[in-house]
Amino acid sequence: MVSSDLWDERTAERYDAGVASMFEPAVLDPAVAFLARLAGDGPALELAIGTGRVAVPLAARGVPVSGIELSAPMVGELRRKVDASAVPVAVGDMATTRVPGEFSLVYLVFNTIGNLRTQDEQVACFRNAAAHLRPGGRFVVEVGVPPLRRLPPGAVAVPFDVGDEHLGFDTFDLVTQQGVSHHYRPAEAGADAYGAHHYRYVWPSELDLMARFAGMELEQRVADWDGSAFTADSESHVSVWRTPQ
C-alpha cells in the first residue's frame, strides 16, 4: 500500500461539492480541450481518476478513457455519473497498478502527484505511466509550484483560502518536502469543522528527472491549461513528457 491518504465514503460523498469551483467551465473546459488534443485518436488513462471530474467530459468528447483510483468510494461516486462500460476503472494505487491496453495519453491532474508522499513512490508513478504509453505517447501532470517564497522567515504556514465559509493554509516540512493542507470551516459544521490532507510537494526540475528515469523527455511546460507561458512567477504548471517514437 502506498503512503497516500485514503478517502473514505464520507469524504467521497462530499468531494464534488468541496471542489465545486473546479467544475466551472472556465476551469474545466480548457483542461479537457488540452487533453483531448494530446490524446488524438488514441485512448487515455487517468491516474487518480476520482469522481470523474475530467474523465467524464473527456469521454463525452469521444476519447476512450480508463482510470486507476485508490479509493473505492470515489469510484462509487463516479459510477453515479457513468457506468463501467463508458469509463472502466481499476481500484489500486497509481504507482504500481496496471490496466490492460496501450495508451496515447496518461494524465494526472489537480496536484494529485503529491498524494504519493515519498519520492520513491512518485518515481514509480512516472515509470508506471511510461509502461502504459505507446511509443510517442505523452504523460501530463498538473501541479502547483511549491509556494515557499511566500513563507516569511521562521514561518511554517502559507494561507491559500481565507473566507467566511473556509479557511485554508498549508504547512511545510522543508527537510522532507512534506506538506499538510489544513481546512477549517464554521463551527456549525460540527465534526467536519476541520480536515487535513497530506502530500509531498515536488519541484518542476525534480519531475523532469523522474521522467528521465522512466525514459521520457520534457516536451512542453506551460503555466495553465490555457497555455500561458511558465515563468518564475507561475504558481502552477502543466507539464508534458513524451516517450520515444
> Quick one: how far is CA 239 from the chain centroid?
12
pLDDT at res. 238: 98
pLDDT at res. 193: 82
pLDDT tier for residue 55 given thresholds of 50, 70 and 90: very high
pLDDT at res. 188: 64
Angle among Cα 177, 180, 186 to the nearest 5 degrees reads: 165
SS (H, E, C) 127-165: HHHHHHEEEEEEEEEEEECCCHHHCCCCCCEEEEEECCC
Residues 6+ apart with CB under 8 A from 51: 12, 15, 16, 74, 77, 78, 81
Helices 72-79 and 9-18 sit at what angle, rounded to 10 degrees? 50
Question: Which of 3.20.20.100, 3.40.50.11540, 3.40.50.150, 3.30.56.10 is the CATH number of 9-146+202-242?
Answer: 3.40.50.150
Contact 218, 239 (CB under 8 A): yes
Angle among Cα 31, 75, 40 to the nearest 5 degrees reads: 35
As a whole number, mean pLDDT of residues 111-136 equals 98
Starting from the edge strand earliest in sequence, which strands make up the sheet with 178-184, in order? 157-162, 167-173, 178-184, 194-200
Q: Quick check: 189 pLDDT over 60? A: no
pLDDT at res. 150: 87
As a whole number, mean pLDDT of residues 35-48 equals 97
Q: Quick check: 59 pLDDT over 80? A: yes
The C-alpha atoms of residue 48 and residue 29 are separated, in whole angstroms, by: 19
pLDDT at res. 155: 85
Q: What are phi and psi of 60, to 5 degrees?
A: -65, -20
pLDDT at res. 107: 99
Residue 207 CB-half CA count within 13 A: 28
Percent of the chain with pLDDT over 70: 97
pLDDT at res. 191: 58
Q: Count of CB atoms within 10 A of residue 66's CB?
A: 21
- Could you give the 3-state DSSP secondary structure of residue 218? strand
Q: In whole numbers, what is the pLDDT of the chain averaged over residues?
A: 95
Q: How many helices (H) and strands (E) does the chain have?
A: 6, 11
pLDDT tier for residue 57 given thresholds of 50, 70 and 90: very high
Q: Which of 242, 245, 244 is nearest to 105 (CA)?
A: 242
Helices (H), the chain: 9-18, 25-39, 55-60, 72-79, 119-132, 204-213
pLDDT at res. 152: 86
Spans of all domains in the chain? 9-146+202-242, 148-196
Output the DSSP codes for 60-89.
HTT--EEEEES-HHHHHHHHTTS-TTTS-E
- pLDDT tens, residue by residue, 150-171: 888 888 899 988 988 889 999 9
For strand 236-242 and strand 217-222, is the pairing parallel, antiparallel, or unpaired? Answer: antiparallel
pLDDT at res. 164: 86
The C-alpha atoms of residue 185 and residue 164 are separated, in whole angstroms, by: 8
- pLDDT tens, residue by residue, 195-245: 899 999 999 999 999 999 999 999 999 999 999 999 999 999 999 999 999
